[in-house]
Amino acid sequence: VRYAYYPGCSLHAGAKEYDISWRAICEVLGIELVEMENWSCCGTVHATNPMRFTVNCT
C-alpha cells in the first residue's frame, strides 16, 4: 500500500521522534510512505483560522 505523507514542520524538527516511529511502524505494516513534494507549513495556530488568516496582523 502506498500513502502520500505530509509530515509537517514539527516532524522534520522538534518532534522528529514521531516521524522516526511512524516510518518504522509503516515499514512493519507494509505501508509505503511517499512524502509529498515541496509541501508547505500548515501554519498551525498562527496562520490557520476558519475564517481568515491571523497572518495579516500588520
Partner 1 sequence: MMGSERRRLAAMGESETLVDLDLEFREEIRSRVEGLDPGYCFQCGVCSGSCPTMARMTYGPRKIMHMIHLGMAERVLQSQDIWYCVSCFSCAARCPQGIEIGDVMSCLRNMAVARGMAVDKEATFSRIFVKVLQEHGRMYEPEVLLRYYASVRDVDAMVKIAPLGVRMFLKSKIGLLPQRISNAGELGEIAARIDRGEAE
- Contact between 53 and partner 1 by CB under 8 A: the answer reads yes
Sign of the CA dihedral with 53 first, then 8, 16, and 19 last: positive
Pick the binder of partner 1 from 28, 29, 30, 58 (CB under 8 A): 58
Pick the binder of partner 1 from 3, 4, 6, 16 (CB under 8 A): 16
Shortest distance (Å) from residue 17 CB to partner 1: 9
Which residues, other chains included, contact 12 with Cβ-Cβ below 8 Å and sequence gap of 6+? 19
Distance between CA atoms of 46 and 55, rounded to whole angstroms?
7
Judged by CB under 8 A, how many residues of this single chain contact partner 1?
27
